[in-house]
Amino acid sequence: MKFRWRDIVILFLVLSLSGSFVYHLFKHIYEEDARTDINMYALFPAPPKALVRVQQTQYWNRSSSDKQTIQQLFGEQMPILYQQLFALHPVNNVWFCLYPEGMICILPTTPEEAGKLQQKMKQLLNTFPPQKVSQNGIDVYYYADAENEFAGAFYANGLWVSSYNKVLLDQTLQRINLQIHPTQETNIPLAHATTSLLIPASELSFRVCSDDSVCWQYTDTWLSTDIYRTNQKMTFIFNLPISSSQNDSLPAVITDSLQQSISRYLQLKPEHIGSTYKAEDGNLYIALDYPTDLP
């Protein structure tokens, strides 16, 4: 069989396109695997007071329920810059690590997307050109806002990190460079809702006993809750392990204790929190409702 020149050219183009497709497919899979392999807990300078995980920010340019939830619960701790940034440039799977002295934003992403975020920050904070400082071979950019507060940002090892607190930013960079890992295995629960809140269990001292002295204690490192929001209320969904052989009155005691702990921790009005629970197959499902029109 004889091939004409046109056939050879077409065959070459098909093979080239196929090779390019396969390359980009595997590159994408590798990047996704790299994102999922990141041990987020190992990156924190110290155990945070809370973690907020947002799986999607694509609707933040509207009055989305996720954005309203964050504003209601953490409005004073969440700089307006990040709310504007992720509305202007939507992202997936962004973490906000909350500390008494400030907040760190951590996003597993690619160098290309990190570059776009830097451009958007420059666009939002168009007061002065960003100052670039090289630390351990990593370029850290500092942007001045309208109040002369500086937000720093850098990209390293598959992570885009930003904070207004320079100490927290420097410590996070050091941990990323040194690849420090905790001595014990620590798992962060997976999120199911678009917005999830994770609280160190040590902050709640979560141990309860029923009237007949049957006791239960939460032993995991993190207490995780998925947050759903409607026009009338926020609902916090918890899934706690409980033995089916334990006292029947214990789920009610656990629910009441959790309601008090969460209201105290998030500074919510306890008298306005409603609760329901169901114990099933070794799990205790608890729903706490809080009106959206209250601070």
200: part of which helix (H) or strand (E)? Answer: strand 195-200
C-alpha neighbours within 13 Å on the C-beta side of residue 78: 20
Whether 52 and 148 share a structural domain? yes
Amino acid at 218: Y
At 244 the pLDDT is 61
Would residue 183 count as lying in a domain?
Answer: no
Statement: residue 189 has pLDDT above 60: no
Average pLDDT of the segment spanning 63-89: 74
Domain C-terminal end among 178, 209, 242: 178
How do residues 218-253 score in pLDDT, each as one tens digit?
888 889 999 887 778 889 999 999 876 556 788 998
Whether 45 and 173 share a structural domain? yes
At 172 the pLDDT is 92
Whether 118 and 232 share a structural domain? no
Q: What is the mean pLDDT of the chain?
A: 77
CB 207 within 8 A of CB 253: no
Whether 173 and 50 share a structural domain? yes
Beta bridge partners of 117: none
Q: CB under 8 Å to 184, separation ≥6 — which residues?
A: none
Whether 140 and 203 share a structural domain? no
Statement: residue 64 has pLDDT above 50: yes
Beta strands in 66-182 (DSSP E): 92-99, 102-108, 131-135, 138-144, 150-156, 159-163
125: part of which helix (H) or strand (E)? Answer: none
Q: Tell me how crowded residue 249 is: count the other CB atoms within 10 A of its CB.
A: 12
CB 79 within 8 A of CB 147: no
Number of structural domains, the chain?
2
* CA separation for the pair 205, 241 (Å, rounded): 16
Whether 153 and 278 share a structural domain? no
Would residue 51 count as lying in a domain?
Answer: yes
Q: Which of 69-78, 197-206, 245-254, 264-273 has the lowest average pLDDT? A: 69-78
Domain C-terminal end among 151, 178, 205: 178
Would residue 14 count as lying in a domain?
Answer: no
CA-closest candidate to residue 169, choices 135, 146, 197: 135
* CA separation for the pair 195, 54 (Å, rounded): 5
Would residue 189 count as lying in a domain?
Answer: no
Which tokens go with 150? 């500086």
How do residues 86-132 score in pLDDT, each as one tens digit?
988 999 889 999 998 889 999 999 999 999 999 999 999 877 788 99
* Total-model pTM: 0.75
Would residue 277 count as lying in a domain?
Answer: yes
CB 204 within 8 A of CB 223: yes
Q: Which domain holds residue 207?
A: 195-291
Whether 154 and 95 share a structural domain? yes
* CA separation for the pair 176, 170 (Å, rounded): 10
